[in-house]
Structure 1
């Protein structure tokens, strides 16, 4: 694929190729091309225990079967850290409510102290469901998150190598301990009356992930995830057996000056995505992404990443470079945590209204002025 060509499918990279000196160079070359030209990939044969993944998936589905009153005991509005349960339609993307119900969890961390910056509240302790209600849920989730954390560490080193950098080149952009955010998402079939023009109903509106990398487990066989190529066309990313979908976030794009591409994507809920080939109902779609974030305190003066010129020369799209520079300046003009915090406040406005009403008011005013 040339740097100017638009992709028409999502590349599949086999993780097992990284385990042999004979096949690793081919993997890194394929990864380099994908980082520059696509920003999305299927990672086949990821090093995640099948037992851990299956147990986590089963417990995740069980969580959604709880009665509403038990879900509301851990509703996100109770957490200043944006963790917990969100009702259907509670999150907003691209200024429209998403047709999804979800639970947000993260690496368990203590709440920030009173002298720490306000944006540090994007990190903190989880709200856990009652152990009696779902025995073993917390253990299953933390085991799964631990294995994905190990994969994210390995994959970060592979990205560095694909850019002809030392494997440890990006270690300094993370906190220790590093927080990963995990969403458990349920997409019910769309209301028949609200599907129009054949486009579909908004499961999640068009957006780019804000973090470093995303590791997505598509837990059911539904189609719906779509990725936008450089021509503006939407490319389907259906579930493939024994794969994760991995995509680049805006932080990684900014850190590499646009070499790694953060790609716009969405979840589109069409009625035909909720039936199998024989027309039988598949029920709701379930999706479990893990978001690898960088340190909230990261700012431009703390970034020392220098990508070699011969790698930079592979990026031919000047607009992409310009956009990445603007993204870098916006994300890191103070600290990345401030931008992430404001984004959470505007995405979860009930949480913002309860815990950070002044921040929410300023952010909404800024949105109105920007769109005027």
Structure 2
């Protein structure tokens, strides 16, 4: 296992997944699993390289994402995000969503007002399983962007396959007797694919915090797989130095994988859900024009979530007489309701 971002401060580990595919020997898979769990314990973020998604396939995916966000506002609004927080699908225009780390019931109107004083300057398109009737997809008509729906359904499925490989590896690395313990609880029904477009904005607006791209937060889900373009801007908090962030520099064709809050709870804090944010890009050509406009940025997170009614309680290998469960059981649906009500 190597790492990125240099020798000083926290580095984000890099796990080469090729041994997972190149051999079925248990020792090779255990080594990958150990490296993955070690990264998720110490940092909570890891680059996955040599996974099963090809460079050509990912390039095609980003091409579809750009084509979608190049549509007119009226065309994108053919699939609007439904009012409220209950259905998390469709197109969210800039300013609709406000990422928050606040964990509240969502009933505090004053808190919600203050959160929105600094708007997030991004637009979003959310997609889920076609089988999820509780969270129905909001598709633009096929004639608006022919082939878009078909491709994104395929991409959703491919990401679920890779996500299950990572969950399988985590189960091995956590010394679970049942290697399918995590994958059996993630049918793909409750995952979420998100297409993100961070709009160009004057750098001064971000520097003086009058607007934001994505404030510091942790993810709600079991884990996230992120695909990012070459712009940069993602930063991860140094777990040993709270308040200090290091760049998650883009690596071509790598998946940036991170643990979510649910899996941290599920693992009794064995795995780490780490704060992260999107700020100014780190690249030399991060600004364009005399007004120091930031480059636009595209990224694609894929959130792996357990089925809604599944009870989240401590993973068997993460509990002992001397290390009892820290969290009471909950369901994914109840936890998701609390977090989503603060976002919209």
Shared fold (TM-score, shorter chain, > 0.5): yes
Cα shift at 1:201: 5.3
Partner of 2:317: 307
Match of 1:254 among 261, 265, 278: 265
* Superimposed CA distance per residue, residues 42-75 of structure 1 (whole angstroms, 9 cap, x where no aligned partner): 0001211444323222111100011111111211
Task: Name which of 155, 178, 190 aligns with 1:179.
Answer: 190
User: In 2, distance between residues paired with 1:125 and 1:276?
Assistant: 37
Displacement, 1:237?
0.1
Q: Is the 8 A contact 1:180 1:293 kept in 2?
A: yes
Mapping of residues 5-154 of structure 1, within 5 Å: 8-19=10-21, 20=23, 21=25, 23-77=28-82, 81-94=87-100, 95-96=115-116, 97-111=119-133, 123-154=134-165
Once residues 332 and 30 of structure 2 are traced to their aligned partners in structure 1, the CA distance between those partners, rounded to angstroms, is 33
* Corresponding residue for residue 236 of structure 1: 247
- The whole-number CA distance in structure 1 between the counterparts of 2:207 and 2:64 is 35
Bigger share in helix:
1
Q: Distance in 1 between matches of 2:166 and 2:132?
A: 27
What does 1:291-330 align with in structure 2 at a 5 Å threshold?
Answer: 291-300=303-312, 303=313, 305-307=315-317, 325=326, 328-329=327-328
| Counterpart check, 1:210 vs 2:220 | yes
Q: Secondary structure in 1 aligned to 2:12?
A: coil
* Residue pair 1:9, 1:236 contacting (<8 A) in 2 also: no
**1:93 alignment partner, SS class:** coil
Q: Give the Å deviation of 1:308.
A: 5.8
Task: Give the unaligned 5+ runs of structure 2.
Answer: 2-7, 101-114
1:41 Cα deviation (Å)? 0.3
Secondary structure of 2:227 counterpart: strand
Give structure 1 regions of 4+ aligned residues with deviation exceeding 4 angstroms.
276-282
Q: Out of 176-185 and 253-262, give the one that drifted further.
A: 176-185
Q: Quick one: distance in 2 between partners of 1:195 and 1:241? A: 26
Preserved contact between residue 39 and residue 260 of structure 1 (Cα < 8 Å):
yes
| Displacement after TM superposition at 1:129 (Å) | 1.4
Equivalent residue for 1:336?
A: 332
Does the aligned pair in 1 maintain the 2:32–2:169 contact within 8 Å? Answer: no
- Please identify, of 92-101 and 205-214, the stretch whose mean Cα deviation from structure 2 is larger: 92-101
Q: Is the 8 A contact 1:40 1:245 kept in 2?
A: yes
Cα distance change on mapping 1:124 and 1:194 into 2, 3 Å: same
**Secondary structure, counterpart of 1:41 in structure 2:** strand
- Which residue matches 1:360? none
Are 1:225 and 2:227 an aligned pair? no
Let me know the Cα RMSD of the aligned residues: 3.0
